[in-house]
Chain A
């Protein structure tokens, strides 16, 4: 029971972190129809900028400043890169963001090298918040949950309660009409892109100390984020939330409970073959849940695509 609670908290941390990325990605996608392949790269930039700034000015300043820089970089990419490629169509746009992801990874290696950076969280949070049955929960995790949730609330408030949010929501669905009403839609696009990437930057700063700040971090999380928004349904913010939490929990639980495939198969009535070492499927029988925890999201995605192609919360395409 206690272990479940610990896992719930751990999964929540992972899930909310995923959501900070998938929320920005979803906003950008539903507005511009382009999936920003480089989104996780902005998350990585957030971590690296955060590290560099924290060396000079400490973690808290880094948490404030790094996302702003990332957001400005994101807006710049939209203004001078994406807008140009937009005229060629969606596929070149996607290829452009893919190239950008490659380039940012190379750039990061160019500046900071290939090794992991010693990016540490603030000293103030370096204590155990509470313990459940001997498992200590660090205060930093609680802090991560707090930050993610408050950002989500803030986003929800801006999108649903403010004038800017109304215009953004309208521009999501009817960009032409909104433009005709005299709003500067390209500016809104740039802004949304900047805010989306800044969110990824926040995620980077707070995840960097926990998950490690290294050149491969964008790709590790990036492909999971794309899987998340496909599962949630492209363009659905609620879908992104649900799918993020789902994936956070599934992977956490799969890692902490060692379930063996043999037990599962026996459980549903399939007997273990006598001579397992010669069997063609021997690796399949020997699978354990921690082994496949990292690929569970992909399996989930394939299943969703087969049985519900529009994703959990997606609208059916007519």
Chain B
């Protein structure tokens, strides 16, 4: 630190400006190339579907984090803004004359505008306070609108929802968006644009003040900013991008139902965002990608995947409130000190047994579930490519032993890991 004292006053500014340009442009270029290249790696239709779902979740999670991470506002009903944007897009799809004169890639803008419109109305009274009151209002309004979906059939289509056909739009440079790959690039384009815009938003005066209001609303008031209006602008912007996500959903699936509005969807987006990490801009992106993959893989393998997701979520809140992004960024100081190597061996010694132990625990959970809920007489179950009888004692002993030994080893090696962690975060030393 002391070497900076003599620095010329104008210098940090230059360094920061120059640094921020090169630092921020790099990841975006990589992201753009990845977005464009991924369909060449995962060519199957299901691959494209999963990626589309992933990107839509990315937009939604980023929009959600404009509230939670940047503005400190916890919403339990944010699916409503995405949903209403999506429903509006479906209606535009069904307004054949208008839709036939509009290219499909513009549709998400309308989704955004409708999401924003709703956010304007709700935000007018909900952003007066942050914290618990805001959370409760978001829950109430979310429930209210979700419940309306079965009552106001003209807009929400009741139980069946609203469906349409994206192919009716004005062809866009000859593209009709009938094939999955065309939709992929439309989605990818919008994800990229939305992510860039949301990132830039966080660098604007109102975006910076959102952080200030989150940390200390009173001080912000004594700097000339009304914390309420700062929250309001964040809320409206977040509503816009949630609506864009809803529009993308409408284009991809061509149907919207009550499920797009309800509390479960709102809960999932909170889960995704928090798992990814609210403290960093890329956290929600990470969360959306990991969550979609885990959901796709796990839901094929086990009925209990929601149980595992819930456990993981609670564990994250309790032990790693920074989420995945926080975990990754924790390793930046050791990296800077060039001491990441110190951690390798302790990590292997602790994390591999821990992972094995947790898998053992999951086996026990699965076996219990099978024991209780499988059809009578069905004693056979398959777990980790092994088929066995869940009503005999041997598999239970094996699973129990694996769990105990795995977690036991992890427990004994954990102190060494902690020591290595401290060592890796201390400047100087022998290594």
Interface residues of A (CB under 8 A from B): 29, 33-35, 81, 84-85, 88, 90-92, 94-96, 98-100, 102-103, 105-107, 109-111, 113, 219, 223, 226-227, 229-230, 234, 280-284, 287, 291-292, 294-295, 298-299, 301-302, 305-306, 309, 317
Contacts and interface: CB of A to CB of B under 8 A. Distances in A.
Given A91-B135, A227-B136, 7 more contacts: A84-B318, A92-B321, A96-B317, A107-B307, A287-B151, A298-B140, A309-B129
Nearest to A114: B373
A92 to B, nearest CB: 5
Contacts of A103: 307, 310-311, 313-314
Contacts of A99: 271, 310, 313-314, 317
A219 B318 contact: no
Given A95-B270, A110-B307, A305 B154 contact: no
Contacts of B337: none
30 contacts: A90-B131, A91-B131, A94-B132, A95-B74, A96-B317, A96-B318, A98-B267, A99-B271, A102-B310, A103-B314, A109-B307, A110-B307, A110-B368, A223-B139, A223-B140, A226-B139, A226-B140, A227-B140, A227-B143, A230-B136, A230-B137, A283-B155, A287-B151, A294-B147, A298-B141, A298-B144, A302-B137, A302-B140, A305-B137, A309-B125
Contacts of B368: 110
B13 to A, nearest CB: 33
Contacts of A229: 136
A35 B133 CA distance: 10
- Majority secondary structure, A binding face: helix
B144 A295 contact: yes
Contact of A91 (B72, B154, B372): B72
B175 interface: no
Listed from nearest, the 7 A-B pairs whose CB atoms lie closest are A298-B144, A106-B307, A103-B310, A99-B314, A295-B147, A102-B310, A96-B317
Interface of B: 68, 72, 74, 76, 125-126, 128-129, 131-133, 135-137, 139-141, 143-144, 147-148, 151-155, 263, 267, 270-271, 274, 304, 306-307, 310-311, 313-314, 317-318, 321, 365, 368-369, 372-373
Nearest to B156: A283
A15 B396 CA distance: 48
Contacts of B317: 85, 92, 95-96, 99
Nearest to A280: B154
Contact of A106 (B125, B263, B306): B306
A298 to B, nearest CB: 4
Contact of B151 (A96, A98, A283, A317): A283
Contact of B140 (A100, A287, A301): A301
Contacts of B318: 81, 84-85, 96
Contact of A299 (B136, B144, B155, B365): B144
B323 to A, nearest CB: 11
A85 to B, nearest CB: 6
A226 B140 CA distance: 8
B128 A283 contact: no
A106 B310 contact: yes
B307 A219 contact: no
Contact of A35 (B136, B137, B271, B314): B136
A149 to B, nearest CB: 27
